[in-house]
């Protein structure tokens, strides 16, 4: 089985930090990228050093902080050329209006701007500034120009600013920036770059009345972790999710649904032109035949209630005719796990099915998976769901590429 890929492991990331109060958030980002296995070289502008000192970033990255265009590194190589040519990606956060304007004008009068001109690596900018400055025509024109040059730009957040005003201009949270960087690296070098994936996650809720529903205990953790891993591998990911308390992965398109019928419609629409469907959602097998328009009330004479249930469609089985679509199903079982999963693999026309024990996995942070296809059965050790998703996606990619090779693609 193929080994899972950590898209940040061993990557050389140049992190440019500019003069904004939002620079304090980037310290957490530098730490997170380093802990994920990246080598992070921080370029601190003179203005940024007024907000966060170099000692902070040096302690978090274990690397010397760079801030002087004229200071040669120990090996005597010209610093900005070395940084730019060896980097796997450049990230500018926060990117201020001043720095954006200088980049757009092609300035090369400090270490950050010269490094940007000397690189051919992908560049991601995370703007952060006062809302009036962000909305100014000059800033918007500069951003538009950078897009035409191939720069990748994050949309600022909307909310309260340091100046006690609200609007669009907040630096996105570190987790969002990291997710966008992972997606950018995946689209550059990942094995699924250029591919479109649909992932489903979470439970469905089938309404009994306006306040009650029939549902299940699925937390959505596994499906969300799969979507994040697929993004890291370079795929354009659509995540179709039932109701959960989770924050969707950055750089993933989310479609929120509630019922099985809504999920079926979303999956059928999103799967048009997709390369792969990973059906992890715990879709309710049955739904009430009718949902009451008003809340059902008990009375002193009420002794119980009988619900008439009808069968929900089998969403992935309904796509059995899509031989161009690599289909991965999930089977959460409480008994005869292997036999039930193998039956579903054949009956639903799947390329692979992933079985797990429902009692020990649903709403739990860790999971044991059994991967089944027509070539055999592999049971994985119990792992936290984020790690299990990475191992599973490595196995899926291996089998997907094998099928493409067999088809001569």
Count the residues in the chain. 409
Structure tokens at 233: 């591998």
Q: Where in the chain is the domain with CATH 3.40.50.1950?
A: 12-182
Q: Where in the chain is the domain with CATH 3.40.50.10300?
A: 191-294+301-406
Among candidates 50, 154, 358, 108, which has minimal Cα distance to 368?
358
What is the rounded distance in angstroms from the CA atom of residue 179 to the CA atom of residue 316?
28
Q: What is the pLDDT of residue 290?
A: 94
Taking the C-alpha atoms of residue 188 and residue 206, their distance in angstroms, rounded to an integer, is: 41
Q: Are 370 and 379 in contact (CB under 8 A)?
A: yes
DSSP bridge partners of 240: 200, 255
Q: Identify whether 312 is a catalytic site residue.
A: no
Q: From the candidates 6, 130, 216, 340, which is the catalytic residue? A: 216
The yes or no reply on domain 12-182 and CATH 3.40.50.620 is no
Enumerate residue ranges in the chain where pLDDT < 50: 76-77
Contact of 19 with 45, CB cutoff 8 Å: yes
Nearest by Cα to 365 from 238, 225, 191: 225
Identify the pLDDT of residue 5: 79
Q: How far apart are CA 287 and CA 290, in angstroms?
A: 8
Instruction: Specify whether the backbone of 159 is left (phi greater than 0), alpha (psi in -120 to 50) or beta.
Output: left
246 touches 219 (CB < 8 A)? yes
d(CA 382, CA 362): 13
CB atoms within 10 A of CB 347: 11
Residue whose tokens read 């205990």: 217
**What confidence tens digit (pLDDT) does each residue in 225-250 have?**
999 999 999 999 999 999 999 999 99
Residue 159 makes CB contacts below 8 A (sequence gap 6+) with: 166, 170
Four-residue CA torsion sign, 371, 376, 377, 383 = negative
CATH 3.40.50.10300 for domain 191-294+301-406: yes
CA 196 to chain centroid, in Å, comes to 13
Residue 72's pLDDT is 54
Provide the whole-model pTM.
Answer: 0.93
The pLDDT of residue 77 is 47
What digits encode the pLDDT tens for the residues 305-362? 889 999 999 999 999 999 999 999 999 888 888 999 999 999 999 999 999 988 777 8
In angstroms, the CA 125 to CA 100 distance is 9
């Amino acid at each position: 089985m193929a080994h899972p890929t950590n898209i940040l492991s061993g990557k050389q990331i140049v992190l440019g930090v500019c003069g904004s109060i939002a620079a304090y958030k980037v310290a957490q980002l530098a730490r997170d990228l380093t802990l994920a296995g990246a080598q992070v070289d921080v370029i601190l502008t003179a203005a940024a050093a007024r907000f966060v000192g170099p000692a902070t970033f040096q302690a978090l990255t274990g690397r010397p902080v760079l801030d002087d265009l004229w200071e040669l590194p120990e090996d005597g190589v010209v610093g900005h050329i070395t940084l730019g040519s060896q980097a796997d990606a450049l990230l500018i956060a926060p990117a201020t209006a001043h720095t954006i304007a200088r980049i757009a004008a092609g300035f090369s009068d400090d270490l950050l701007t010269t490094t940007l001109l000397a690189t051919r690596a992908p560049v991601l900018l995370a703007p952060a500034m006062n809302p009036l400055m962000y909305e100014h025509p000059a800033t918007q024109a500069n951003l538009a120009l950078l897009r035409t040059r191939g720069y990748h730009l994050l949309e600022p957040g909307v909310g309260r600013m340091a100046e006690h005003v609200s609007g669009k201009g907040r630096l996105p949270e570190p987790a969002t920036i990291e997710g966008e960087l992972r997606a950018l690296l995946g689209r550059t070098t990942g094995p699924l770059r250029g591919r479109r994936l649909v992932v489903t996650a979470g439970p469905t809720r089938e309404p009994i009345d306006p306040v009650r529903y029939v549902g299940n205990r699925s937390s959505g953790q596994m499906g969300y972790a799969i979507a994040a891993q697929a993004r890291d591998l370079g795929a354009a990911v659509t995540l179709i999710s039932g109701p959960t308390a989770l924050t969707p992965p950055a750089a993933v398109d989310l479609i929120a649904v509630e019922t099985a019928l809504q999920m079926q419609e979303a999956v059928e629409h999103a799967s048009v032109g997709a390369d792969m469907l990973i059906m992890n959602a715990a879709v309710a097998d049955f739904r009430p035949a009718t949902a009451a328009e008003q809340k059902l009330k008990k009375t002193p004479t009420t002794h119980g209630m009988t619900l008439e249930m009808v069968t929900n469609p089998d969403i992935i089985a309904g796509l059995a005719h899509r031989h161009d679509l690599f289909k991965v199903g999930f089977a959460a079982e409480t008994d005869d796990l292997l036999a039930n999963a193998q039956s579903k693999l054949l009956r639903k026309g799947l390329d692979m099915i992933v079985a797990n024990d429902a009692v020990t996995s649903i709403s739990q942070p860790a999971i044991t998976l059994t991967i089944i296809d027509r070539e055999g059965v592999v049971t994985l050790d119990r792992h936290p769901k984020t790690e299990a998703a990475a191992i599973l996606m490595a196995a899926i990619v291996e089998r997907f590429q094998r099928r493409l090779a067999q088809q001569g693609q």
